[in-house]
Structure 1
Amino acid sequence: MKTTTQLIATLSLSLLAGSVFAAVSAEEAAKLGSSLTPLGGEMAGNTAGTIPAWTGGLTKGAAAVDANGFLSDPFAGEKPLFTITADNLAQHQDKLSEGQVAMFKRYPATYRMPVYTSHRTSAVPQSIYAAAKSSAQNTTLVEGGNGLNHFAQSRYYAFPIPQNGLEVVWNHITRYRGGNLKRNIVQAVPQTNGDYTLVQFEDEVAFPDNLADIDADKAANALLFFKQRVTAPSRLAGNVLLVHDSLDQIKEPRMAWIYNAGQRRVRRAPQVAYDGPGTASDGLRTSDNFDMYNGAPNRYDWKLVGKRELYIPYNNYQLDSPSVKYADIIKAGHTNQDLARYELHRVWEVEATLKSGERNIYAKRRFFIDEDSWQIAVSEHYDGRGQLWRVGQAMLLQNYDVETPVYAFEALYDLIGGRYLAIGMKNEEKRSIQYGVHASVKDFTPAALRNAGVR
């Protein structure tokens, strides 16, 4: 009897493991583009009519684009349906996260959320939809969930029909970002009185399927290549960070190097991972806070809480406009919420709990991920005492010119210290982002860092 019970238990665990790590069937994948959007969101709107059906999103020609690549606002004439403030918070709390509620309580006099009509604008090229469908039928998690099998053939949206929380997070990590790109952005870390100094970056990102000279062995486990040069202020100018990210960061950990312009030396940078300090962040973000979340997920247990309706930053064209100055955005306590736009959308809620014996300054984290774009819109980070410490939000919009969901910028708010960091702003840059950039593997080697760091 005991032996039979053990066999049944073993079989049950095997079946469970198979369901966790298996790709979906062809019948399930056929839902993509029918009852589900091509990326796995629910095609239909909600029963209340406050979330519309997805009808293809915003694609090329949706509105005008200026000579420097800045996008016109397709919804410029719209007015807020209502504005959430500390005074009417209770009326809307069911569609807010704990972190969003905490922002109203931390800044009751100034924090607000203008809520507009919802528009499901997310869209990517048809070839990327096909890649997502291929991923759905072929990609699986490696044992332990910290990497991907059979993903190199598709490269995008590993699990458009996710079965667990880790798969949802992998969709954020493997989402389409428009291919190789260069961008000029700024970061601000204001003091509590609002004073700040801008840090200016030149970022370059390349992907293995857009690097003709990458060898097959390297491409098989490569996720992306990232290079970031500081151009201002002068005390930091010329410092360069290089990162090679892999799909399975346990099998092949992230490789990172830093060129220090003052020392004129290239050094390995193992601290550029997990909770290592972010570049020029004054201690207000970790390495894995960048892009809302990045890197190896192995230090956490991931739980899929479910799906819910949430007011999230969406279609934030005003915050990305060249007519808006950095001084208009950066204010004491938080960015200028009068320039922000929020809409009601469905999100996946995922909770990460630090594993026993592992180390990270965040003991628990929650992520709220847009169903249409797979971008993390809101994040919550808790300290070792279980206290809500930091709240992140990314100001989402659709770059219809290149059919790519992007952020106007992302911000991380320290509720305890009363400060925050905002990174990704480009309003005053002459040429904000260049897509389709030709790149070579040689551009992303430690030997290339010294040339990149010349002031």
Structure 2
Amino acid sequence: MNRNVIQLSILALTLLATGVRAAVPQQEAAQLGGVLTPLGAERAGNADGSIPAWTGGMSADAGVVDEAGFLTDPFADEQPLFVITAQNLEQYRQHLSPGQVALFNRYPESYRMRVYPSHRSAAMPERIYEYAKSNALSTQLVGNGYGLQNFTGYFPFPIPKSGIEVVWNHIARYRGGSVMRQFAQIVPDAKGGFSPVIMHDTLVSPEFLSDYDPQKQNNILFYWKQAVDAPARLAGNISLVHETIDQVKEPRMAWVYNAGQRRVRRAPQVAYDGPIATAEGHRVSDNFDMFNGAPDRYEWKLEGKKELFIPYNSYQLDSPQLKYSDIIRAGHMNPDLQRYELHRVWHVTATLKDGERHIYARRDFYIDEDTWQAAVIDHFDGRGDLWRVAEAHALQVYNQQLTWYAAETLHDLMSGRYLVLGLKNEQRRSFEFGAMANSSEFTPNALRQSGMR
């Protein structure tokens, strides 16, 4: 019997023995895989058919995968249905976030949005659907929502009842279980000039640990390690994070290795609005992955669902035939390489609590219902002004049956500059999924050793 089945069996027996209240009733959870998709989205399309019904998502053989792991575009022959510009913006405003509208106003001559037919591409392995259904019956919030209990695997709340539950689905979503990747982070100057920062990182969930110990590691959501490869002035710096499930009982643990000092130190700043040395001041720690870490500094409100134009099926943007110079433009990425589709999203607002500190006083999240990935996040400063706009250019990694980002962008509306994170077009390989790891690789001592090689 494999570890996944064992974990699910243990969880079921524990719930029966302890009488823990289920997160949703059995009758409601039974909707998963019926009127709802296995991950909790509405299976049906919308009223006018512009959003189709979900019919199982994209097949694992939807396209060709080259020797380096890059995916061909299954929709390469499609043409845009229409193009949104500053001139026809009002016609489409109802399907745009305030931040997206602001980008058209900030760059009226060059910014445009190519909108294509919508494809509900999301598909994941059956075991991931099993995790979601089990969690629907078991997972509960603890500590005012800042931790989880009785959670296993991925997607704690496929039938969410609150804003914080929606956000936890983003935080604890399936990313392949184990992934290694090398990618670029780019902050162009006002004229579009840039010098990329090249990084590589590894993320491993407990089920991909060869030495997984449920007694010692039952509160680990994932291990994450990131090293800077270039430029030379930053190369060799490494960050390590142990992300936890119940962040009330055990907050995130983080360390950094400074190559210049050849020292490992605890790094409480790798959280919330802690500064990022590689980003020229254009993002903070919890901007990574659109949003990450503890949600305890905000009050979360579920506003409901809406239909939004979001970046989707972004295979063209991910092509290894492109150079970074083909993508990067002054003010924003090349709009002719971006693809938008109409999808249903969960709208959640996060408002900074009285007495708490963060550079963002409010954030508006728009999270894709099919994948639970954040698609758009609008960020507001302490005066209530719209400041930064984040977008995630999603694609289905069909051969691995998971969803990821081709790139994340974070636009600063005040400075007119932006940050792009996650491009890999010029790297030798695409992302690599599924490798087993050992927890000893994610210790401060291992961090020190890897930095001194």
So what's the TM-score if we normalise by structure 2? 0.94
Which residue identity lines up with residue 334 of structure 1 in the other structure?
H
Matches within 5 A, 1:407-418: 407-418=405-416
Amino acid at match of 2:106: R
Give the Cα–Cα distance (whole angstroms) in 2 for the partners of residues 158 and 198 of structure 1: 36
**What is the aligned counterpart of 1:375 among 357, 373, 376?**
373
Matched, 1:53 2:53: yes
Please list, as runs of the form range in 1=range in 2, the aligned pairs for 1:331-370 lying within 5 A after superposition.
331-370=329-368
> What SS is found at the alignment partner of 2:389?
strand
- 1:145-185 Cα offsets, whole Å, 9 max, x none, are 0000100xx32100000001000000001110011111011
What whole-Å deviation, never above 9, does each CA across 1:384-410 have from its counterpart, x for those lacking one? 000000000000110001000110010
Partners of 2:50 and 2:452 in 1: CA distance = 52
Counterpart of 2:25, as a letter, is S
Provide the C-alpha distance between the structure 2 equivalents of 1:218 and 1:347, rounded to a whole number of angstroms: 37
More off after superposition, 350-359 vs 205-214? 205-214
| Corresponding residue for residue 7 of structure 1 | none
Q: How does 1:75-94 map to 2 (within 5 A)?
A: 75-94=75-94
Aligned residue number for residue 323 of structure 2: 325
Name the % identity. Answer: 60
Higher mean C-alpha deviation, range 270-279 or range 350-359: 270-279
Match of 1:236 in 2: 234
Give the AA of the match of 2:404. Answer: V
2: CA distance, partners of 1:452 / 1:393: 33
Return the letter of the residue paired with 2:232. S
TM-score (norm 1): 0.94
Q: Please state if 1:23 is matched with 2:23.
A: yes
> What does residue 12 of structure 1 align with?
none
2:249 matches 1:251: yes
Partner of 2:437: 439
Question: Do structure 1's residue 127 and structure 2's residue 103 form an aligned pair?
Answer: no
* Map 1:103-252 → 2, pairs under 5 A: 103-151=103-151, 154-252=152-250
What are the ranges of 5 or more consecutive residues in structure 1 without an aligned counterpart? 1-20
**Matching residue's letter, 2:112:** R
User: In structure 2, what residue type is equivalent to 1:115?
Assistant: V
Q: Is the 8 A contact 2:179 2:434 kept in 1?
A: yes
Distance change >3 Å, CA 147–CA 69, structure 1 → 2: same
Report the Cα offset of residue 143 of structure 1: 3.2
What is the aligned length? Answer: 433
2:287 paired residue among 280, 286, 289: 289
Aligned AA (1:425): L
Query: What's the CA shift for 1:214?
Result: 3.1
Instruction: Give the distance between the partners of 1:190 and 1:248, measured in 2 at CA.
Output: 38
AA aligned to 1:100 is Q
Aligned partner of residue 223 in structure 1, secondary structure: strand
1-structure distance, mates of 2:37, 2:452: 46
- Cα offset for 1:279? 4.2
Within a 5 Å distance, the mapping from 1:422-437 to structure 2 comes to 422-437=420-435
1:229–1:452 contact (8 Å) kept in structure 2: no
For the 8 Å contact 2:375–2:391, the answer to whether it is kept is yes
What SS does structure 1 have at the residue aligned with 2:102? helix
* In 2: Cα distance, 1:271 partner to 1:176 partner: 26
2:222 partner SS: strand
For 2:307 and 2:421, locate their aligned partners in 1 and report how far apart those are by CA, in whole Å: 26
1:256 & 1:143 partners in 2: Cα distance? 21
State how far apart, in whole Å, the 1-side matches of 2:176 and 2:240 are: 20
Say yes or no: does 1:33 pair with 2:33: yes
- C-alpha distance in structure 2 between counterparts of 1:279 and 1:217, whole Å: 36
| Corresponding letter in the other structure for 2:54 | W
Q: Which residue of 2 aligns with 1:65?
A: 65
After superposition, give the CA deviation of every residue in 1:337-365 in whole Å (9 maximum; x if it has no partner).
11000000000000000000000000000
Deviations 1:245-304 (A, max 9, x none): 101222211111111111111111110000001240111111000000000000000000
Distance 2:307 2:180 in 1: 34
Tell which deviates more after alignment, 22-31 or 340-349. 22-31
Tell me if the contact between 1:225 and 1:244 (Cα under 8 Å) persists in the aligned partners.
yes
Query: What's the offset of the Cα at 1:189?
Result: 0.8
How far apart, CA to CA, are the structure 1 residues paired with 2:239 and 2:100?
32
Deviation at 1:452, TM superposition (A): 2.2
Runs of at least 5 residues in structure 2 that lack an aligned partner in the other structure: 1-20
What is the Cα-based RMSD across aligned positions, in Å? 1.0
Give the match for residue 300 of structure 1.
Answer: 298
How far apart, in 2, do the equivalents of 1:266 and 1:287 lie?
19
Contact 2:311 2:394 (C-alpha < 8 Å) held by counterparts: yes
- Partner-residue secondary structure (3-state), 1:218: coil
1:388 matched residue in structure 2 = 386
Asked if the contact 2:210/2:436 (under 8 Å) is kept, the reply is no
Deviation (angstroms), 1:450: 2.3
User: Which of 260, 270, 273 does residue 272 from structure 1 map onto?
Assistant: 270
**What is the identity, as a one-letter code, of the residue corresponding to 2:279?**
S
Q: Distance in 2 between matches of 1:401 and 1:453?
A: 33
Give distance in 2, aligned partners of 1:361 and 1:166.
20
Q: Distance in 2 between matches of 1:235 and 1:443?
A: 25
Range with bigger deviation, 114-123 or 254-263: 254-263
Deviation of 1:70 after TM superposition, in Å, equals 0.3
SS at 1:134 equivalent: helix
Paired with 1:451 and 1:57, the residues of 2 have a C-alpha distance of 43
State the secondary structure of the residue aligned to 2:445.
Answer: helix
Please point out which of 407, 418, 421 is paired with 2:419. 421
C-alpha distance in structure 1 between counterparts of 2:131 and 2:421, whole Å? 30
Worse-matched range after superposition: 278-287 or 30-39: 278-287
Identify the residue that residue 6 of structure 2 maps to in structure 1. Answer: none
Of 26-35 and 432-441, the range deviating more from structure 2: 432-441
**Aligned partners of 1:250 and 1:296 also within 8 Å:** no
Structure 2 residue identity aligned to 1:452: S
Contact 2:262 2:452 in 1 (8 A): no
Match for 1:394: what amino acid? A
Counterparts of 2:213 and 2:292, CA distance in 1: 24
User: One-letter code of the match for 1:354?
Assistant: L
Deviation string 1:306-342 (CA, Å, 9 cap, x unpaired) is 1000000000000001011111111111111110000
